[in-house]
Amino acid sequence: MNRDMFTSAILLAAFALTGVSLLFLVHAATKERIENNERALLLTQLNEIVPSGTYDNDPVTDIRTIAAPEALGSDEPLTVYRARRGDKTVAAILTTVAPDGYNGAIRLLVGIRANGELAGVRAIHHRETPGLGDRIDAARSDWILDFNGKSLNQSQPGQWRVKPDGGSFDSFTGATITPRAVVKAVHKALVYFDENQDFLFDAHIEKSK
Ligand SMILES: Cc1cc2nc3c(=O)[nH]c(=O)nc-3n(C[C@H](O)[C@H](O)[C@H](O)COP(=O)(O)O)c2cc1C
């Protein structure tokens, strides 16, 4: 009887070990693929803002992590991706958050050229209402492309608002909260860039995760 119990225990342990080993192998095999897919998606998003032909570094790894809750809208440190060509700075793409969307925080990529002009803005994560606030999504409407080429120099501070608030940016019929939040966040990112450009482009490179 004791021997049977011993054999069962050994078998059980062997099954458990095989199971754990299999899980470990599957995890190891998929982890790298998931990381590669995430990296490719990020690069596609960055290249929509700053075309790949305009820089020769790897902006996915040439990053700075910045904690600037007031300017960038989040208590968590956020990543800034840098595009360079040779020793010239091309653009910084700031991850920034509009905390006051209709359905919560809206995560944005704000690309700013070295001359202070917006290279482009994209909403990369939000929960705004389909058919209303989700028109900030480049896949849903061209609204977000209106930021292209704008800068602090070319406009009065008051223009960095949606039209119902007296500014120059269109809002959506019956949905002003979302575009208002995005315009505010992009403006804050531009001001932050203007005040911290040297620090943002500092060649100090962090290891990406
Ligand atoms: C179910 C529901 C979902 C809504 N979703 C949004 C939204 O995603 N974004 C937005 O700005 N407003 C949304 N609104 C409208 C806002 O409550 C608010 O009325 C509007 O943003 C104000 O814009 P207006 O001044 O142009 O009317 C939603 C309203 C309802 C009832």
pLDDT digits (tens, 9 = 90+) for 83-121: 999 999 999 999 999 999 999 999 999 999 999 999 999
pLDDT at res. 209: 45
The preferred substitution site among 176, 178, 182, 184 for testing ligand 1, maximizing ligand atoms within 8 Å of CB, is 176
- Answer whether 174 contacts ligand 1 (Cβ < 6 A): yes
Backbone φ and ψ for 139, nearest 5 degrees, come out as: -75, -20
Whether this prediction's pTM lies above 0.75 is answered by: yes
The distance of Cα 24 from the centroid of its chain, to the nearest Å, equals 30
Q: Based on C-alpha coordinates, what's the Rg of the chain?
A: 23
Ligand 1 atom at minimum distance from 129 CA: 8
**Looking at ligand 1, which residue's alpha carbon is closest to its atom 14?**
175
Residue 83: strand pairing partners: 91
pLDDT for position 133:
98
* Two structure tokens written together for 49: 């803002």
Q: pLDDT digits over 20-52, tens only?
A: 999 988 888 888 889 899 999 999 999 999 999
3-state class (DSSP) for residue 5: helix
Quick check: CB of 102 below 6 Å from ligand 1?
Answer: yes
State residue 70 phi and psi, 5-degree precision. Answer: -70, -45
Domain ranges for the chain, please list them: 1-49, 52-201
> Does the Cβ of 182 fall within 6 Å of ligand 1?
no
The rounded distance, in Å, linking the Cα atoms of 1 and 21 is 30
Q: How far is the C-alpha of 178 from the C-alpha of 156, rounded, in Å? A: 22
Alpha-carbon distance 42 to 33, whole Å? Answer: 14
- 115-129 mean pLDDT: 97
